[in-house]
Structure 1
Amino acid sequence: MKEIIQINLDNEMDLILAHKRCMKIAEMCGMPSSFQTRFSTAVSEVARCAIAKGKNSLLVLGINIIKSTQKEIVAIITDSEDLKSCNPEAFNYAAKISGHIQYNYFDNQFTTTISQQVLSPGLLTETKIKGFIDYFKYEPPLSPYDEIRKKNIELIALSEKLTESENKYKQLANTIPILICVINERNNVLLVNESLENYLEKPLLTFERKTLTHFIHSADIDNVLEGLKRAKQNRSDYIGETRIKKGTNYIWHLVSITPNKAEDGTFNSWLVYFVDINAQKMIVETLKDNTELKMIQLELESANSQLRFKNKELQQFAYIASHDLQEPLRKIMIMLSRAGADLTEDQKKKFYFDRITLAAGRLSNLITDVLNYSRIENSEQYFEEVDLNKVIEEVLGDLSLIIEEKSAVIKVDQLPKVSGLDIQFRQLFYNLINNALKFNSGNPAVTIGYGDIPNDPNFTGSAEKYDVISVEDNGIGMDSSYSGRIFDMFQRLHERDQYGGNGIGLALCRRIIENHNGLINFSSKPGVGTTFWIYLPKNKRS
């Protein structure tokens, strides 16, 4: 049978389409109007039964070429349900007006076949039948529903092609002898191919995010990260050599890092490829002279020394820049205060004294916040045991005035001693508790808990491996749509005249937690409050 068109029988609109297209095919085959009507009505009776009682119903219209002098129009309706048993009257009526109806069951499908002989089979050539197919393929929509239906069919076909293409790409990426991963701007591993995961013999995509440092040799990682840094600045590629851990050994690989461009043209991730060059590397290393190795070692030590010196210079620059920027602001604010001492309130408003003072204060706070953010790093700093109970006590002392002013109730569980940097933990809890007090239109109630992990859908790790601390408030809360960006720099969810701040506090919190190899999540509901979950690994953090 030459198939002309398919119609899914889902609703009454499909019944109308089936009837019209049966009439059209019969007309195109040169049948008299009475035969057109009888054939279309018989098909419609069975189709109506399929729509009412059937499941996964499909109508196929086509031309059956028995021989050159015998051809017929055929309508085949398949269904998972026994339509004839559901409505015997409809089948009897269809058989009565058609005279050519068959019903059978095969391969879990019930099939109804209705046929009508073509009176002039000689005129129905292969070319003409192909013209029928093209006609229905490109015919204008019969109704808005028909147009939507055609678009949906096209979308399904495109979706299937896309899925097939993605599967082929995944198969290629997983079978080629190249280790591949995708990292984000913070060097966290987002995706890996099977070759890399099998090579490392351990999963990389777990709750505790992994970076390149987890499998690249410690002696090579600085060079790789420095090359990646330059590539990010220049939006260019990086190619180098590094050693990757395999079992207890490290194997030399050629590493290539290229920017992964998003649809909008931005770069938010990087493709990393590793190709095994261990054999070539071993040959080169064997041929090298010991003197040359020593010279290279001295050069590397010199380069590292220069880098350390430059890092110290940058730290000194940050402190100097902070002082030099803050000092003119202090003078401006002092001069504004003195200049406005003898002015009336109307005169101050006329010359925008209040706005200038407010802007200078915001700039001063912004410089302080940015400097604090830049200082959060743990190189050349040593973790020590920190009693979080003492940290909270000091933070509550710093916030005592606003706690008293707002009549806030603060409840604190007995907290653990953890390994880390005392000053950073103070910054962390100061920001979280201050936010809980600030973003509250009533009497704040803040609970700092320690223990189990209820109501945190983002946690997938093992609770036994983490100290879990929660900071819960009854504040204004926030919509879940902001969950992807509240920890980003300068992100504010409210106007400045509603609540103060520079949008750096939560970004600072996340950086502190990541500096301690932990994780911070939150759950929130507008008008009810917010809970921040802090996960700190129980093993030694270094």
Structure 2
Amino acid sequence: MKEIIKINLDNEMDLILAHKRCMKIAEMCGMPSSFQTRFSTAVSEIARCSIAKGKDSVLVIGIHITKATQKEILAIITDSIDLKSCNPEAFNYASKISGNIEYSFKGNQSTTRISQQVLSPGLLSETKIKSLIDYFKFEPPLSPYDEIRKKNIELIALSEKLIESENRYRKLANTIPILICEVNDRNKVLLYNESLLHYLKVPLQTFERKSLTVFIHPEDMEVILEGWEKAKANQSSFSGEIRINNSGTYIWHLVTMIPNKSEDGSFNSWLVYFVDINAQKLVVETLKDNTQLKMTQRELESANSKLVFKNKELEQFAYIASHDLQEPLRKIMIMISRASENLSEEQKKDYYFDRIALSATRLSDLITDVLNYSRIDNNKHFFGEVDLNDIIAEILGDLSMIIEEKSALITIEPLPQVLGLNTQLRQLFYNLVNNSLKFNTTVPSVTISATLVPEDNNPLVLSGDYDIISIADNGIGIESQYSNRIFNMFQRLHERDQYGGNGIGLALCQRIIENHNGIINFTSTPGEGTIFWIYLPKQQ
């Protein structure tokens, strides 16, 4: 249906308007006077019932095109109550007059349709129908009430558009990712958008220290308060960077205060915006960190160059120690041996030949140990598969005399293959097994075993899979007070006349393990024995 006119049925004046409008439309559609009267009277009868009994009644009159060659005038009256049950006599009368009336009541709404066929539908073209709509749009008022009614309709339409526009802007303000509020010069928050409410979790009532402390970072409080006072005093804008608490995390925001002008140009409030700039701040900080990192990297490169130079010096020192120190020492030992050939044992004691020879031998061992320690370096070697079973077999061969001498009991469980340097691992296990035999006051008992520990069950929270090799003995043990010192260079826990050595063995072991990206530690009970634990990664 093409709507021509719409009338709210509120009082008797609306009933008069409805009757006149129906008569005029029927007349303009070329209907005879009798048909005009019948149609208008039927509509008026139902309209009177709506005004008397109904609620929120509306009459719409229009042209309904049923077929290309068939058109009708159609009046539709809607109401929120069941009109027919309220006044069935009115509907019976209207039906007798018109003969074309339909009624329905569904979903708490009644609909009454009254129609009248147009006798010359060909004359009622689209242009004619448009002229009907324009006629009633610009028709002069029929009465003062009609004029007021039209003005009210225009005001209602304008109000609806205003409400629709306001809802659109409110929806926009509530959905944009910017926190907005309006504050007057007495620090009272007049309104705020939903984004600000959801962000702060509590309504912002005043723009003062007490309220702002709840969500502004303490270090940024003076920034926003001083900016706010300056904006009020100068009636100017202000921008600054602050941090806002969001569920325990402070997020950087750009706060902007803009004076809100009224139509006469005066200022009575400010719009305050909080825009999230945390990502930009992170980028800036990252760039600063990168600059600092580059400076630190250059410092590290410089320190590394110096370290390389020092290592070169140490290599030269090791060479000097290997040749220039060992060579005169060997000559001293040879001359002592030759000088003592023609002396009696008594004379040897008088001239301290035994002590001199022992000291020279000890010095030679010390130089050898220091050289071994300094040469632990994997930069010039490539790791390969090393079978620890073969390593232990060679070590036991080297220590066979002391094993037989002390009647030691050696238990070896199957050991794994590991990635490493054969010579260094041989030195490692030689030192540890030799210590187990040496630092023992009873018949030595040494047990060597191994187990594979996966990454998800690693007791030291190491990454990757590790082989753990344990060397357990029943020796004298280690006092807990020495637990942090036994891997230090030249660290001796006993007098030299009790147990031999230079205090370098365990330091050498730790250096070898570190060179293999592993870990060495121990557990010990004085008088009962010690267990050394060696962690070697499956992959280097």
Q: With structure 1 as the length reference, what TM-score do the two structures score?
A: 0.49
Q: With structure 2 as the length reference, what TM-score do the two structures score?
A: 0.49
CA radius of gyration, larger in: 2
